[in-house]
Chain A
Amino acid sequence: MATTDTQALRRTVLYDEHVKLKGQIIPFAGWEMPVRYSSDLEEHLCVREKVGIFDVSHMGEFLIKGPSALALIQKVTTNDASKLTPGKAQYSCFPNGKGGIVDDCIVYMKGENDYMIVVNAGNIAKDWDWINKQNDLGATLENVSDDYSLFSVSGPLAAATVAKLTDMPVGDLAYYTFATGTFNGIPNILIATTGYTGEKCFEILIPNEHAVKCWVDLMEAGKEFGIQPIGLGARDTLRLEMGYMLYGNDIDDTTSPLEAGLGWITKLAKGSFIDSDKLNQQKADGLKRKLVGFEMIDRGIPRHDYVLSSGGNVIGKVTSGSQSPSLKKGIGMGYVEAAFATEGTEIDVIIRDKPVKAKVVKPPFLKR
């Protein structure tokens, strides 16, 4: 019988390290995770200027193998996975059959008939059920989320930090590629240059039994570069400055990939996939609403769920918003009626019942 009991929060194997480092622990997506260790601003700038390390072990990893692996991935994701070659990764999402998004994800091609998909922590069970339900093609699926820890080392000095623990030529890896080799004396470790901060990023997938030692050794390796552990607070401001989506805020089961500006990972030309008919139709009809970036003209900080308006009429809602630590002003994203989505359009954010002026800009907010 179903119960309404609150599910117990889970901890990554790094939990004790986070506590030792004075991490302030909060519940996030079913996990107890550090929101910050010292200060959001300090951690944010540490990643922009030096190097930071994130424990993202709560994220999920699925292995997809066998002769129908590619066919299944092509069916359940929007991007064209046939373009991948071994050692390459691609950003993608799972359409939900109703025009919305089950989750966003990264697809890694390890070899012929051998793929891995990394998904959001809060969606592991939902994604796993969904992909299995769609697997009438006979691909072999394995959920290894509980076996692996995942660290993200990010910042201009990230390559120098990671290089101290491996002979793999990590500094030469192009964006969205990966290599497998010996890391910190452990064979067969995958290091990918996928990331969520806008800085050089190395995501290192480590079997749980080695995770604590690798974390400690990475902290030690990065000491000379000023490494700091980074919490969820700075992770969110770092990704927002780049205009990267957060599932549950900017995209969800009710938002179309096209409305979200994910046309670049929605490859309608690849052939039929879940929702391809709906998305083709939507493209032909034109989009009614669009996810836009905006920055504040007048002083104020946009927040999730604040109303967006124009001339006193509601035109949409904020999905993500914050003070930008790098730009020192309020930035946000939100869905607006298509007529207001053009760059430079002035809109109002309703903050504490008052309209505060903002203008539509094209992310990334932080230009390089």
Chain B
Amino acid sequence: MEFPSDLMYTKDHEWVRIQGNTAVVGVTAFAARELGDVVYVEIETEGDTLEKHDVFGTVEAVKTVSDLFLPISGTIKEVNEALQDQPELVNSQPYGKGWMIKMDVGSDPDISDLMTAEEYTKLIGM
């Protein structure tokens, strides 16, 4: 299982890629495996400005429902529309085409709660 070292991670099993003022957010390969086959991703918070740890959406697998928690405070600018028709991308390409939202996090986001790949793999016992 892969945990790219250029990403940051949360204890809720989301990953974050920060590029300038933008953060891309998805769920980790570990989360995708634990959930099982993802069949529905519901994110209706586009345009909302939310605090870190707020629920920004829900991911549903065949047998499970899980809330999605925001890793950083900011404004949700874009939701990955491809997941509407191909939610399975969350399982097959969790760090690529399976991304979930893009956020505006400003120039100085609070990343104090985030983990490195090494810290995250230790957390999940990999």
Q: Which residues of A contact B (CB under 8 A)?
A: 35-36, 39-42, 44, 233, 236-237, 299-301, 303, 322-323, 325, 352
Contacts and interface: CB of A to CB of B under 8 A. Distances in A.
A254 B105 CA distance: 52
A21 B65 CA distance: 26
B6 to A, nearest CB: 28
B62 A41 contact: yes
B63 A233 contact: yes
Given A236-B63, A301-B60, A322-B63, A39 B37 contact: yes
Contacts of A237: 62
Nearest to B65: A303
12 contacts: A35-B63, A36-B36, A39-B91, A40-B36, A41-B37, A41-B62, A42-B37, A233-B36, A233-B62, A323-B40, A323-B62, A352-B42
Contacts of A325: 62
Interface of B: 36-37, 39-40, 42, 58, 60-63, 65, 91
Interface centre among B39, B40, B58 (most CB of A within 10 A): B39
A40 B65 contact: no
A35 B33 CA distance: 13
Contacts of B65: 301, 303
A42 B37 CA distance: 9
Given A40-B62, A237-B62, A299 B40 contact: yes
A267 to B, nearest CB: 36
Nearest to B39: A323
Contacts of B63: 35, 40, 233, 236, 322
Contacts of A42: 37
Interface centre among A39, A42, A299, A303 (most CB of B within 10 A): A39
B58 A352 contact: yes
A248 to B, nearest CB: 15
A322 B91 CA distance: 18
Given A301-B65, A323-B40, A325-B62, 16 more contacts: A39-B37, A39-B91, A40-B37, A40-B62, A40-B63, A41-B37, A41-B39, A44-B62, A236-B63, A237-B62, A303-B65, A322-B62, A323-B39, A323-B60, A352-B42, A352-B58
B1 to A, nearest CB: 13
A14 B21 CA distance: 53
A44 to B, nearest CB: 8
Contacts of B60: 301, 323
A44 B63 CA distance: 12
Nearest to B87: A323
B58 A40 contact: no
Nearest to A354: B44
A299 to B, nearest CB: 7
B57 to A, nearest CB: 10
A301 B42 CA distance: 11
Contacts of B40: 299-301, 323
A236 B63 CA distance: 9
B36 A39 contact: yes
B36 A301 contact: no
Nearest to A328: B39
A352 B43 CA distance: 12
